[in-house]
Structure 1
Amino acid sequence: MTVFDIYKELEDFLHPILDEMYFESPDGKRVKINIYKQSLPPKRDDEDMNPIPYLIIKVLGGTFPKDYRSDTAKIRVILLIGIMNTEEGYTASMDVLGVMERIRQELLKVGHLKTFSLCADIDFTMNEEDEYPYSFGGMDLKFRSIDVVREDEYT
């Protein structure tokens, strides 16, 4: 298990939850949310596709214990969500909250990924300066790794 594993585990965890949801794309189609690791893909030119709707899995930091036998690593991850909605009544912010709620409910139900377990409250925030038709929000998650302790006949 390494810090890199949390990207794959979160992506595997999120797909079944979010693949049932469809959102508006910039070209007006209903599409599944795009999941990216650490940041949005760079735009190559002005005609490059807009990544909305998106969810970014971003590792912010963590703690590795000094003594591998004393504790497990802790990792802080944020999920950044960007959605657009041009429907009457501007519901993009409700869509962002809906995504966060689905993720929250599933995390609380299972409590862990494959080798990481949720170890703190789930914090969330909404961007205060949304501009129609876009809305943005984020979830702050803290995970503890389920480390495998090395067997050594001399310890």
Structure 2
Amino acid sequence: MTPIFLQKSLVEELKALFAGFCSTDDVVGKCGQVNIFPQDLPIAFGGDEEERVPYIIVRIDSGNIQELNQQERVEMILVFCVKSTNENRQGYLDVMNMIQRVKDRFFRKFRLGEYFFFEPPFEWAVQEEDTFPYFYGAVKMNFYCPAIILEGDLC
């Protein structure tokens, strides 16, 4: 199982995890779809840029295999973006709620699909720069992919 399959599994897991996510924007809040994108935002041709928000980007960052017949460790980064037009600048609450939802999921159940396993550390951050009305955060997570087993005479 390659890191690409890991990314696809994580995208599907996040779609299910954030189905019906409700934001704290405005007084009544909004519930709807969180867009999940693999690796980067798609290029918008003539569409409304704001239609993508809220979103999560599921990015393959790096990986390594320390020894033959060992699992591959893959570092994944999740980038969160929400829009909050409320002047009290509380959009960071949505970002933190999204980060918490991911943290709860993977600390309760390390397995992702049939083949992948989360292993701490779980690192997160929120953006310090003022990008009102957009608020950003990120999570760095490690997953293990199954080992590629050496075959033949060299075994």
Give the TM-score band, short-chain normalised: 0.7 to 0.9
Residue ranges of structure 2 left out of the alignment (5+ in a row): none
- Counterpart residue number, 1:84: 83
Please list, as runs of the form range in 1=range in 2, the aligned pairs for 1:31-50 lying within 5 A after superposition: 31-45=32-46, 47-50=47-50
Find the residue that maps to 2:88 and give its secondary structure.
Answer: coil
Task: Name the SS of the counterpart of 1:94 in structure 2.
Answer: helix
Q: SS of the residue aligned with 1:120?
A: strand
Other-structure match for 1:134 = 134
TM-score with structure 1 setting the length: 0.84
RMSD (CA atoms): 2.4
Shift of 1:116: 1.3
1:131 alignment partner AA? T
Q: Map Cα deviations across residues 32-70 of structure 1 (whole Å, 9 max, x no partner).
A: 11000100011224x543221110000011013451x2x
Q: Does structure 1 conserve the Cα–Cα contact (< 8 Å) formed by 2:21 and 2:31? A: no
Are 2:19 and 2:34, in contact at CA under 8 Å, matched by a contact in 1? Answer: yes
Gaps in structure 1 of 5+ consecutive residues: none
**Distance verdict in 2 for CA 1:11–1:136, change over 3 Å:** same
4+ residue runs of structure 1 moved beyond 3 angstroms?
147-155
Aligned pair in 2 of structure 1 residues 34, 129: CA closer, same or farther (>3 Å)?
A: same
CA distance in 2, matches of 1:86, 1:49: 15
Among all aligned residue pairs of Structure 1 and Structure 2, give the percentage whose two residues are the same amino acid.
22
More strand by share: 2
| Amino acid in the other structure paired with 2:140 | D
Give the deviation of 1:86 after TM superposition.
1.8
Q: Does 1:63 align with 2:64?
A: yes
CA shift, 1:30, in A, is 4.5
Tell me the matched-pair count.
149
